[in-house]
């Protein structure tokens, strides 16, 4: 596996505050990697370390097995958390300038800028100053800024925040395309449903550590087994007698149960049928949001610190 973006045991502290604690994960070529975590968990710090605008205290960032240099970083498309564009510079001119700083020739830069402005639906605003655009359109220009130089890696900090639904769709599509073209795409987001839908793999960060990382389905399969049963005539205590079964929630016969290992779900079904008709019966996997809440709120001592991808 040559083309892998590896973040290897990266640590960073600001004074007494530990921002990253041996953070380790990798993003493979052609993969969409969702980076989630609460505010202050270290996502932005990690991205800034990858981009080299922040020096890590320890650890390495490698691309295709070699440490990133200014030259290789020039091939990264980056969208910082705090958006950055010259407010009083015209959109097209600004994007051409940024593309040229990434090493493109004037002709290639101009062609690429026009292509992306068209694609992102802001071609008509090319000759306006950035500050005259709506926030949503500024966001599209910002995305264009991270894409114009045909990046070999994409690192986007909260690319979806502030976008309208149409722009979210455009952005999602662009990210998928880029991944399909063989680029590793790393992005952070608080919109977990979006991450769940979009990403091949997800990493959950807490206090500077990767606490869970892997394909979304795999992550959801971990943890306790849960069953959802809809038995309208059942009373609140219908499952109380079953060994190894706990009631998580009960709402007029709609019951969520947590099963210990080794408990036969068919026993549960029989108990449910004993109360009357059963409208629904099935395994309920936690959503990414539930998983996130669970992982993030977990006590530090229970965390598997070797959360390698």
Partner 1 sequence: MTERSEGMTGTALGTWDAVRLVAGREITTRTGSKAFRITTILMVVVVVGFVVLMKVLSGGDDAGSRIGFAPAVAPLAAAFTSVAGAVGENVTTSQVDEATGEQQVRDGKLDALVTGTPTSLRVVVQEDLPDGLNSAFTVLARQIALNDQIARLGGDPAAVNSAVGAATFSLQTLEPPREFEAARLLLGIIVGILVYLSIMLYGQFVAQGVVEEKSSRIVEILLTTIRPWQLMVGKVLGIGAVGFAQLVVVVVAGVLTGLATDAYTFPSSIAGGAAFWAVTWFLLGYLTYALVFAALGALVSRQEDVGSVTAPAIMFIVLPYLVGISVLPADPTNEFAAVLSLIPLFSPMLMPMRIALGVAPAWEIALSIALSVTLIVVLVWLAGRIYSNAVLRTGSRVRFRDAFRTG
Near partner 1 in 17-36, by CB under 8 A: 29
Closest to partner 1 by CB, 53 vs 240, is: 53
Binding mask 236-265 for partner 1 (x = CB under 8 A): ------------------------------
Angstrom CA distances, 190 to 41, 138, 253, stand at 12, 20, 33
Residue 21 and residue 11 in contact, taking contact as beta carbons nearer than 8 Å: yes
Q: Is 235 helix (H, G, I), strand (E, B) or coil?
A: coil
Q: Which residue has the tokens 């990858």?
A: 50
Binding mask 180-219 for partner 1 (x = CB under 8 A): -xxx------------------------------------
Closest to partner 1 by CB, 35 vs 292, is: 35
Q: Could you say which of 71, 127, 261, 299 contacts partner 1 (CB under 8 A)?
A: 71
The C-alpha atoms of residue 49 and residue 42 are separated, in whole angstroms, by: 10
Residue 64 in the binding site for partner 1 (CB under 8 A): yes
| Residue 176 beta carbon to partner 1: minimum distance, rounded to whole angstroms | 16
Residue 88 and residue 132 in contact, taking contact as beta carbons nearer than 8 Å: no
Q: Across the strands, what pairs with 23? A: 10
Closest to partner 1 by CB, 171 vs 245, is: 171
Q: Which residue has the tokens 């800024």?
A: 145
Q: Could you say which of 8, 22, 128, 150 contacts partner 1 (CB under 8 A)?
A: 150
The C-alpha atoms of residue 128 and residue 190 are separated, in whole angstroms, by: 31
Closest to partner 1 by CB, 85 vs 268, is: 85
Closest to partner 1 by CB, 103 vs 277, is: 103
Backbone angles phi, psi at 76, to 5 degrees: -90, 140
Closest to partner 1 by CB, 63 vs 292, is: 63
The C-alpha atoms of residue 268 and residue 291 are separated, in whole angstroms, by: 24
Q: Could you say which of 72, 172, 191, 289 contacts partner 1 (CB under 8 A)?
A: 72
Stretch that binds partner 1, among 17-25, 49-57, 194-202, 229-237 (CB under 8 A): 49-57
> Helix count (H) and strand count (E) of the chain?
10, 14
Residue 78 in the binding site for partner 1 (CB under 8 A): yes
Near partner 1 in 88-117, by CB under 8 A: 88-89, 93, 97-98, 100-104
Where would I find the H helices in the chain? Answer: 43-51, 70-73, 91-101, 106-119, 135-147, 165-180, 192-198, 216-221, 265-273, 288-297
Residue 9 and residue 59 in contact, taking contact as beta carbons nearer than 8 Å: yes
Backbone angles phi, psi at 230, to 5 degrees: -115, 100
Residue 43 in the binding site for partner 1 (CB under 8 A): no
Residue 12 in the binding site for partner 1 (CB under 8 A): no
Q: Could you say which of 37, 151, 203, 307 contacts partner 1 (CB under 8 A)?
A: 151
Residue 54 in the binding site for partner 1 (CB under 8 A): yes
Angstrom CA distances, 275 to 204, 231, 240, 283, stand at 41, 7, 13, 20
Residue 76 in the binding site for partner 1 (CB under 8 A): yes
* ∠ CA 294-234-282, rounded to 5°: 45
**Chain residues in the site for partner 1 (CB under 8 A):** 3, 29, 48, 51-54, 63-64, 70-76, 78, 80, 82-89, 93, 97-98, 100-104, 145, 149-152, 181-183
């Amino acid at each position: 596996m040559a083309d892998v973006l590896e973040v290897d045991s990266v640590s960073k502290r600001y004074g007494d505050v530990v921002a990253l604690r041996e953070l380790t994960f990798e993003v493979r070529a052609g993969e969409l990697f969702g980076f989630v975590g609460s505010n202050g968990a270290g996502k932005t710090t990690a991205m800034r370390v990858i981009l080299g605008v922040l020096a890590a205290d320890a650890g390495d960032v490698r691309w295709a097995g070699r440490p990133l240099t200014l030259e290789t970083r020039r091939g990264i498309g980056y969208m910082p958390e705090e958006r950055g564009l010259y407010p009083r510079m015209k959109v097209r001119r600004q994007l051409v300038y940024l593309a040229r700083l990434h090493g493109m020739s004037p002709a290639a830069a101009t062609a690429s800028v026009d292509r992306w402005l068209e694609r992102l639906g802001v071609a008509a605003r090319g000759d306006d100053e950035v500050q005259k655009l709506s926030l949503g359109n500024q966001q599209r220009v910002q995305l264009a800024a991270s894409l114009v130089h045909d990046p070999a890696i994409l690192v986007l900090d909260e690319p979806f925040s502030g976008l309208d639904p149409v722009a979210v769709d455009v952005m999602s599509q662009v990210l998928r395309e880029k991944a399909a073209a063989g680029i590793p795409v790393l992005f952070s987001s608080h919109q977990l449903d979006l991450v769940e839908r979009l990403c091949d793999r997800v990493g959950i960060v807490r206090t500077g550590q990767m606490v869970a990382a892997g394909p979304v389905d795999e992550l959801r399969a971990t943890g306790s087994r849960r069953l959802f049963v809809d038995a309208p005539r059942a009373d609140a205590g219908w499952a109380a007698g079953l060994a190894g079964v706990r009631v998580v929630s009960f709402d007029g016969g709609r019951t969520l149960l947590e099963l210990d290992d080794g408990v036969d779900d068919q026993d549960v079904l029989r108990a449910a049928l004993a109360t009357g008709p059963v409208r629904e019966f099935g395994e309920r996997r936690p959503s990414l949001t539930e998983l996130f809440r669970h992982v993030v709120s977990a006590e530090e001592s229970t965390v598997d610190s070797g959360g390698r991808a």
